[in-house]
A and B are shown apart, each in its own frame.
Chain A
Amino acid sequence: MKILVGIKRVIDYNVRVQVNREGTGVVKDGVKMSINPFDEIAVEEALRMKERGEAEEVVVVSVGPEAAQQQLRTALAMGADRAVLYQAEEEIQPLAAARALLQIVQAEDAGLVLLGKQAIDDDANQVGQMLAALWDRPQATFVSKLERSGDTLKAMREVDAGLENIEVDLPAVVTVDLRLNEPRFVKMPDIMKAKRKPLDIKPFAELGVEMPPQLEVGAHEPPPKRQGGTKVESVAALVQALKDKGVL
């Protein structure tokens, strides 16, 4: 089985994000970029499956700017076999990304697609589900445990009620949650090896994606500051205030 892992280049999670002065987006000049952390977990899971003999090849793919090569190289250094970048400098919204991934999945004849449950930039949480719909295959989202037996996967999902188990037939799309695994550290000799692994760069247009309607993205602003400052005099007053507010 071939596993396809999608990764996105995003602003590093340790960096404090700022709205630009014009309010048209966030400041990206000189800002550290990384693999979306959920996608890194997806890469790790794919590698572990391969190491257990459950997959033969791990291919990482990204749809994004030329600089996303850095993130693909990191995934190769983690252990992925090869990488493909479909270069698009403009923003690709989730449905278009899902349509692009469908083309790639079919061209690669992948048996499993592993994705992060969401990207930490747009927080959309859509691509995996959309890809599964377009591919007409099962989806297992927010997965924190994954087991393969034969042609089925058993997935434990993190849901509001706790944890639930589902079983899906392969091929399938799995989106991963934080607790699935802890990604390995990249080793220095593997960084060197990764430089020699294949990384194809192709124009996004080559996929021939029919562009769906897009959301028009307008103003960006910082969240409103919390207005606090009310002090109560006693425990009784506090309990009353919480009851009045309907939170107790």
Chain B
Amino acid sequence: MSRVLLIADHDGKTLNTGIARTVACARQLGNVHVAVFHAPDGDAPCAAAAKLDGVSRVLSVRHEANGAPLAAVLAPQIARLAAEHEGGYDYVLAPSTTFGKDVLPRVAALLGVPQVSDLMEVIDARTFKRPIYAGNVITTVKVPEGIPVLATVRIASFQAVGEAGEAPIVAAQAEAELPTHSRYLGLAESGGSDRPDLQSAPRVVAGGRGVGSKENFEIIFKLADRIGAAVGASRAAVDAGYVPNDMQVGQTGKIIAPDLYIAIGISGAIQHMTGIKDAGCIVAINKDGDAPIFEAADFGLVGDLFTLLPELEKALDAAG
């Protein structure tokens, strides 16, 4: 059976939720080892990784230098592990998070092999689908024989595995000469709003012309805050002056792929749908039952948003 090395993304305390999805991809390819590179006091993510279904072993790679997510420090260790640990691995995967995108190409270059970015579907052991042109085209790529397969995995394309596993956690060595030319200074103070960033938020609530006015848009913000979502808007709402342009979602605004997108009073013109075509689940609330958004929404609710939104908040409160 093929050997798969999956590089964990974590912050020293918790495991990135994308790892459970990346495992779903990885276990289609072989026997999955999750490597957690961590500082001596940061091994908590190892236990979290050990619980994921489909993980057969967790490699705990402890080093003083591994407390910070610096690609230049981690890549030589990953390359060493990938090439030499118990005879080496057939696959090296990382999630398509900013961590995975930062570190894995550096590993690929050290190993002298190409990388598949944003793997979204496994066709066979060496053939995969991936999106190009901002998801407007899907292409099939094949990794040539005789070299390890390196890929970042598009996490939105896979369902998270369960947490009933009990993989052993073993210490692993990945001796490499570590550079001192890069230093981690820490997360920056977030300036401004406490709301999540529209571009990367897992949940987004967006309003359109149907919201009716700048004042009415408060109802959108309120729902968003209730479920910890970022706020977006259609071009019509922006053009009507309800909200500033940086909140625009769509062809001429932001292209986003949240897990949950709630479109309120948005008709769903093709220009808007282009911006959310990769969203996990689209909910549409609109009084016009013939609006095009209902053709693409996973769940549609026809009715007056000023009645339905308060109801929705109440239902969410009741549901906890």
Task: Give the interface of A toward B (CB within 8 A).
Answer: 11, 16-17, 19, 26, 93-95, 98, 120-134, 136-139, 141-142, 154, 156-169, 172, 212-223, 226, 228-232, 234-236, 238-239, 241-243, 245, 247-248
Q: A247 to B273, alpha carbons, bound, how many Å?
A: 20
CB distance from B249 to the nearest CB of A (A): 15
- Across the interface, do B299 and A218 meet the contact criterion of CB distance under 8 Å? no
B118 partner, pick from A121, A123, A158, A234, beta carbons under 8 A: A123
- Asked if B75 is at the interface (CB within 8 A of a chain A CB), the reply is yes
Given contacts A123-B118, A169-B181, 12 further A-B contacts (CB under 8 A): A120-B133, A125-B105, A131-B109, A161-B11, A166-B183, A218-B139, A221-B138, A222-B137, A231-B299, A247-B203, A247-B280, A247-B281
Contact A232:B300 (CB < 8 A) given known A141-B71, A165-B188, A239-B316: yes
Tell me which residues across on chain A come within 8 A of B116, comparing CB atoms: 215
Q: A231 to B284, alpha carbons, bound, how many Å?
A: 9
CB distance from A181 to the nearest CB of B (A): 16
Question: Please, what's the 1-or-0 string for B117-143, where 1 marks a CB less than 8 Å from any CB in chain A?
Answer: 110000000010001111111111111
- Across the interface, do B294 and A228 meet the contact criterion of CB distance under 8 Å? yes
- Across the interface, do B296 and A226 meet the contact criterion of CB distance under 8 Å? yes
- Across the interface, do A164 and B188 meet the contact criterion of CB distance under 8 Å? yes
- Asked if B186 is at the interface (CB within 8 A of a chain A CB), the reply is yes
- Across the interface, do B200 and A139 meet the contact criterion of CB distance under 8 Å? no
Contact A247:B136 (CB < 8 A) given known A228-B295, A242-B299: no
Task: Give the interface of B toward A (CB within 8 A).
Answer: 11, 16, 70-72, 75, 97-99, 101-110, 112-118, 127, 131-144, 146-147, 179, 181-188, 190, 197, 200, 203, 227, 259-260, 273, 277, 280-283, 289, 294-302, 308, 311-312, 315-316, 319
Residue of B nearest to A140 (CB): B182
Contact A168:B181 (CB < 8 A) given known A121-B133, A123-B133, A139-B71: yes
CB distance from A27 to the nearest CB of B (A): 10
Tell me which residues across on chain B come within 8 A of A125, comparing CB atoms: 101, 105, 117
Tell me which residues across on chain A come within 8 A of B108, comparing CB atoms: 95, 126, 130
- Across the interface, do B299 and A123 meet the contact criterion of CB distance under 8 Å? no
CB distance from B181 to the nearest CB of A (A): 4
Residue of A nearest to B273 (CB): A226
Residue of B nearest to A233 (CB): B301
CB distance from A238 to the nearest CB of B (A): 5
CB distance from B317 to the nearest CB of A (A): 11
Contact A129:B200 (CB < 8 A) given known A218-B140, A223-B138, A228-B296: no
Shortest beta-carbon contacts, A-B, top 8: A129-B105, A130-B109, A133-B109, A126-B105, A165-B185, A163-B188, A218-B140, A216-B142
Q: A130 to B111, alpha carbons, bound, how many Å?
A: 10
Tell me which residues across on chain A come within 8 A of B106, comparing CB atoms: 129-130, 132-133, 139
- Across the interface, do B181 and A247 meet the contact criterion of CB distance under 8 Å? no
- Across the interface, do A220 and B138 meet the contact criterion of CB distance under 8 Å? yes
- Across the interface, do A212 and B137 meet the contact criterion of CB distance under 8 Å? no
- Across the interface, do A232 and B301 meet the contact criterion of CB distance under 8 Å? yes
Tell me which residues across on chain A come within 8 A of B142, comparing CB atoms: 215-216, 218
